[in-house]
A and B are shown apart, each in its own frame.
Chain A
Amino acid sequence: MNPFQPIGRAVLALLAEIGRVALFLKDGLAQGLSPTYYIRQILEQMWRIGYNSLPVVGLTAFFTGGALALQIYLGSSRFNAEGLVASIVALGITRELGPVLAGLMVAGRVGASIAAELGTMRVTEQIDALVTLSTNPFKYLVGPRLIAAVVTLPILVAIGDTIGIMGGYIVGTRSLGFNSYAYIKNTADFLEVDDVTSGLIKAAVFGFIIAVMGCYHGFNSKGGAQGVGRATTNAVVSAAILILAANFALTNLLFSE
Chain B
Amino acid sequence: MADGHIILQDLRKSFNSKHVLNGINLSVPKGHSLVVIGGSGTGKSVMLKCILGILHADSGSIQIGGEEITGLKGKARDEFLRRFGMLFQGGALFDSLPVWENVAFGLTHGRNVPRAKAKDIAIEKLSQVGLTAEVAKLYPAELSGGMQKRVGLARAIAADPEIIFFDEPTTGLDPIMADIINKLIVDCVKRLGATTISITHDMASARKIADDIAMIHKGEIIWQGPAKTIDYSDNPYVDQFIHGRGTGPIQMEVLKA
Contact = CB atoms under 8 A, between A and B. Distances in A.
Interface stretch (B1-9, B84-92, B222-230): B84-92
A125 B81 contact: no
B82 A134 contact: yes
A24 B46 CA distance: 24
B110 A128 contact: no
Given A128-B49, A128-B54, A133 B106 contact: yes
A131 B81 CA distance: 8
B78 interface: yes
Nearest to B79: A134
A124 B90 contact: yes
B105 interface: yes
A133 B52 contact: no
Interface string B123-140: 000000000000000000
Interface in A115-158: 117, 120-121, 124-126, 128-136, 140
Nearest to B81: A134
Interface bracket on B? 20 to 34
Contacts of B52: 128, 131-132
Contacts of A132: 52, 54, 81, 84-86
A132 B105 CA distance: 11
A135 B96 CA distance: 16
B18 to A, nearest CB: 15
Q: Max chain B CB contacts within 10 Å: which of A120, A126, A133, A136?
A: A133
Contacts, number: 55
Contacts of B92: 124-126, 128-129
Nearest to B48: A132
A134 B110 contact: yes
B86 A129 contact: yes
Interface string B225-249: 0000000000000000000000000
Instruction: Pick from A38, A136, A140 the residue with the most CB of B within 10 Å.
Output: A136
Interface in B75-124: 78-79, 81-82, 84-86, 88, 90, 92-96, 105-106, 109-111
A135 B110 contact: yes
A115 B232 CA distance: 53
A126 B95 contact: yes
A129 B88 contact: yes
Contact of B109 (A120, A124, A140): A140
A117 B92 CA distance: 14
A135 B109 CA distance: 7
A133 B52 CA distance: 11
Contacts of A124: 90, 92, 95
Nearest to B45: A125
Nearest to B104: A133
Contact of A133 (B79, B90, B95, B105): B105
B139 to A, nearest CB: 13
B150 to A, nearest CB: 15
Interface string B34-78: 000000000000000100111000000000000000000000001
Nearest to B158: A133
B72 to A, nearest CB: 12
A126 to B, nearest CB: 5
Contacts of B109: 38, 133-135, 140
A125 B54 CA distance: 10
A126 B54 contact: no
A214 to B, nearest CB: 16
Contacts of A134: 78-79, 81-82, 106, 109-111
B166 to A, nearest CB: 12
Interface of A: 38, 117, 120-121, 124-126, 128-136, 140
10 contacts: A120-B95, A125-B92, A126-B92, A131-B52, A131-B53, A132-B52, A133-B110, A134-B110, A135-B105, A135-B106
Given A126-B94, A131-B53, A140-B109, 13 more contacts: A38-B109, A121-B94, A124-B95, A125-B92, A126-B93, A128-B88, A131-B54, A132-B85, A133-B81, A133-B105, A133-B106, A134-B79, A136-B78
The 6 closest A-B pairs by CB, nearest first: A134-B110, A125-B92, A129-B92, A133-B106, A132-B86, A134-B81
